[in-house]
Structure 1
């Protein structure tokens, strides 16, 4: 895992804008989580945020403080935070519009699809390599298999959890230990119940991890250093008589808040009540239980990376089909993970739209920095104006700056014939050593574009840490369905510059000064979506 911090002096006059590290790359809007000097009026006129009924108050306040005008009905919007849409609707996005989802994320957000993807990885690479999710059966199609397994299982191990495949917040979940308790002719998943959860003060708990994916190809994953530990509000027991007690066996806040014994915790630093911050949990486990927290966190990172790789191929196909610009999409996932009494993490589910509602000061302490850093990492540009020139907008900001507005060339998915040839050449390399050195020789405009967006992301990590790619994550490349050129590119870049980033950045600056990154494929080159 790697966290990169670059102390870059901001040379722009206005605090609401931050420069790219690189010349001839437009600046980014700097989201404000407090009171700051407002952006000039002519800039604010260009910033439109499309509201949604599910837009969290934290997001709404942040974009409003930054200078966006929030509108319910708006065609010329730059950003939105909404529910997932159909793949065909992604094709209607303009190049300068940024949506908070990728197409095809049902592959990870639905429990049945998630299990099928992980099961496929188990079949290909072995049970031990992808033993990250409890054994699951999808009914009705797996009913016969489940019945056979049930009959071979000892009675004391016959504990299963029943879940609707697409529900959330604990809806429809129940524990059973008799086969007759499983509903018939109902689409459900039946999952092996983890009978030996790690307990704190006798209570079961799970972890909510926040994971940001800014690109599918190349795969770029960031894990928030903070999150939530959510406790069941009744002390744990595996006695069959307790299986109907949802306050004992489920850790969802949306379930436990209705228990009269539920204790609210408003202090982000306190180990009290039934919800803690992840940072507080780590300190508690290290100090009070003598746990090697670093090792636990490494196992969580491994789980997150393997989960994303298990759905990478299907996600990539959806992105290639639906998105016409690399600027359009990003995704923040909520991973729910349970630790057993051996501190092995088990993936319970992945939320495509994790709740950002803040019912307490503790929630705000976690979620406000989370949203602030998320929007700054993904990077929003000022949209172009039909009324004012770039020079006029630059003067509005207090200095002559060029460029000022979004440039779709930086996020194009089109490749020149030469770039396609280079991609195919390195994709067909049999070993890592064959591309590690040579792929960085003679960087193409497409190479440079990917690397400058990547390096600009790394200046805004805040509460996030980069977990993929790093100089160590090349060990995961063997699990990808296909060799991806851009994964190879970033692997080679990390290997060469992970401990001397300034040297790599200086190389890119020189290339951007020559505007090589702005050389894009011509239409008559028959460019296609191979860049994805």
Structure 2
């Protein structure tokens, strides 16, 4: 047995001795290289894992510091009037924080915040956005607006200050009838001049439009959604995706001034989908409220565009009439970003003249009473928040990353490059050809241009109605 083992050992030794040296060296090299690669792979994995953790931590930190919104006044969990506001902000990646915290990016104030929170509003940070402008009450106050003598508003008189003027107007216009209102538009009712309390405070009387345009015999009003994104310079947008139509529950004729359901649009108004002539357009053909109304108007061999052109002009002139007052009210509030969502309520008479009735701050956006209105309010909010930058597609920390620089920069607003070079505007801005060269503009002016470009990219179904679009009259070069 020992002899056999010796023989085997000799044979194996001989075999090993016969293995070429280069093969052994190759084997050793491969072994060492494999070990090195394994070590590098483990290190890279550890590094990748660490980086991934750091990125995740950064994202979590971003979410904690960015996309925070607050609500004023604080709402209870049972409150549902802001359901769609909270819903859309949640879809946009925002999380709610308390109003007494300082790190919110966006404040949705259902009530005017500049009185009770005036000191705090004057000290908000540049990146913080608020959904109201200081001084917007000059437009939305029922009494102030109705007595502003605008040609498209029914004649109105403030009581008791203008009772003498009212009595004189009633004598000069004996066929006129009037409605008595307070500043909250409660208890609206037609009254003869003798029955009106001329000494009532904070109220007014307004001439009643007696010949309304009717749909299936029903009087209606139109709610048009308007957005202000800047006061100086003034920039106004109108939401064109749809319009809120509200019809009086009872038919207008035979007219009975004691039946307010014939002429006052209340909370229990008749919606579009319950108006016989509009139902087919709204339900069968899936039109909106405006497109269904426009279709009905065309059925009467009339042109609905006549109405909408008047609406745009009414919005422009109404806001322009109060813009100086708002600009003065804005002066103490230099920081932050502001915008305003308004609803203009209008009626149309049988001659297709449009009359402004009131302008609403914080218009109703709750579909609790009328479920089909949910889509209208959701789309309005989505359009508005994207327009003003709250719904930006870039999701990072505004305080450390200028997202607007990524979307719109100087190169996007630079114009007249040939003239700027020809007249050496980078050296001197004295020539009129240099007026629009970026090197000759103030920083504030460049920011205005960049803001306008940003809004243009994000306007979606918002139409800018002021400033009006300038149509070039230059002929195309052949």
- Flag the 1:293–1:143 CA change in 2: closer, same or farther, 3 A: same
Q: Which residue of 2 aligns with 1:66?
A: 92
Describe the shift of the 1:341–1:276 C-alpha distance in structure 2 as closer, same or farther (beyond 3 A).
farther
Count the aligned residue pairs.
373
The offset of 1:185, in angstroms, is 3.0
C-alpha distance 402-186 of structure 1, shift in aligned 2 (>3 A)? closer
CA RMSD of aligned residues (A): 3.4
Given the superposition, is the C-alpha separation of residues 403 and 343 from structure 1 closer, same or farther in structure 2, using an over 3 Å criterion?
closer
- Cα shift readout 1:453-481 (whole Å, capped 9, x = no counterpart): 11110111222111111235xxxxxxxxx
1:224 aligns to what? 239
The CA deviation string for residues 430-465 of structure 1, in whole angstroms up to 9 with x for no partner, is: xxxx98x76424333222111011111011122211
1:146 deviates by 0.8
Partner residue of 1:143? 163
**TM-score, L = length of structure 1:** 0.64
Residues 268 and 184 (structure 1), Cα distance of their counterparts in 2 relative to 1, 3 Å cut: farther
Is the Cα contact below 8 Å between 1:268 and 1:276 reproduced in 2?
no
Q: Which has the higher contact order (CA 8 A, sep 6+)?
A: 1
SS of equivalent to 2:113: coil
Name which of 167, 175, 179 aligns with 1:161: 179
Residue of structure 1 in register with 2:451 after alignment: 453
Dislocated runs of 4+, deviation >4 Å: 262-269, 381-385, 401-405, 494-497
CA distance in 2, matches of 1:271, 1:197: 26
CA shift, 1:187, in A, is 2.5
| Per-residue Cα deviation, 1:84-129 (whole angstroms, up to 9, x for no partner) | 122534303222111100001110111121134x32xxxxxxxxxx
Question: Hey, what's the Cα distance between the residues in 1 that align with 2:206 and 2:404?
Answer: 56
User: Match of 1:86, SS?
Assistant: coil
Which of 101, 107, 112 aligns to 1:84? It is 112
Aligned equivalent of 1:364: 374
1:153, CA displacement in angstroms? 2.3
Structure 1 equivalent of residue 352 of structure 2: 343
3-state SS of 1:113 partner: helix
Larger radius of gyration: 2
Q: Structure 2: how far apart are the matches of 1:322 and 1:255?
A: 41
Which residue is 1:279 aligned to? 291
1:173 to 178, 183, 188: 188
Q: Could you tell me how far 1:163 is from its partner in structure 2?
A: 1.0
| CA–CA separation in structure 1 for the residues paired with 2:353 and 2:318 | 15
Q: Deviations over 1:175-197 (max 9, x none)?
A: 11342244533321100000000
Say whether 1:235 aligns with 2:251: yes
Q: Which residue of 1 aligns with 2:420?
A: none
Judged with a 3 Å threshold, the aligned counterparts in structure 2 of structure 1 residues 455 and 465 are, in CA distance, closer, same or farther, namely same
- TM value normalised by structure 2: 0.71
- Give the whole-Å Cα distance in 2 for the aligned partners of 1:230 and 1:463: 22
What pairs with 1:113-262 in structure 2 (closer than 5 Å)?
113-116=144-147, 118-119=148-149, 130-154=150-174, 157-165=175-183, 167-168=184-185, 171-182=186-197, 184-225=199-240, 226-237=242-253, 239=255, 242-252=256-266, 254-256=267-269
- Contact preservation (8 Å) 2:82, 2:365: yes
Deviation at 1:358, TM superposition (A): 1.4
- Partners of 1:366 and 1:267 lie apart in 2 by 17
- The alpha-carbon distance between structure 1 residues 101 and 76, as it changes in their structure 2 partners (threshold 3 A), is same
Do 1:277 and 1:366's aligned partners in 2 also have CA atoms closer than 8 Å? no
Contact persistence 1:230–1:276 (CA under 8 A): no
Structure 2 residue aligned with 1:50: 70
Q: For 1:69 and 1:267, how far apart are their aligned partners in 2? A: 39
Structure 2 CA distance for aligned equivalents of residues 144 and 452 of structure 1: 52
Distance in 2 (CA, whole Å) between partners of 1:270 and 1:219 is 36
Structure 1 unaligned runs (5+)?
Answer: 1-38, 120-129, 395-400, 408-433, 473-493, 500-532
Task: Name the CA distance, whole Å, in 2 between partners of 1:199 and 1:224.
Answer: 24
C-alpha contact (below 8 Å) 2:244/2:289 kept by paired residues:
yes
- Aligned 1:354-433 pairs, distance under 5 A: 354-359=363-368, 360-380=370-390, 383-384=397-398
CA contact 2:146–2:358 (8 Å) conserved in 1: no
Residues 328, 306 of structure 1: alpha-carbon distance in 2 compared, 3 angstrom cutoff: same
Name the CA shift for 1:439/1:470 in 2 (closer, same or farther; >3 Å): farther
In structure 2, the residue corresponding to 1:356 is in which secondary structure? coil
**1:363-392 CA distance string (max 9 Å, x none):** 12211111001001001375455xxx65xx
Q: CA shift at 1:248, angstroms?
A: 0.8
Residues 267-317 of structure 1: CA deviation (Å, up to 9, x unaligned): 895279xx972232122212x112212222111101110011011110111
Contact 1:93 1:328 in 2 (8 A): no
Could you list the per-position Cα deviations for residues 334-381 of structure 1 after superposition, in whole angstroms to 9, with x for gaps in the alignment? 100000111111000000110000134431221111100100100137
Q: Give 3-state SS (helix, strand or coil) of 1:292's partner.
A: coil
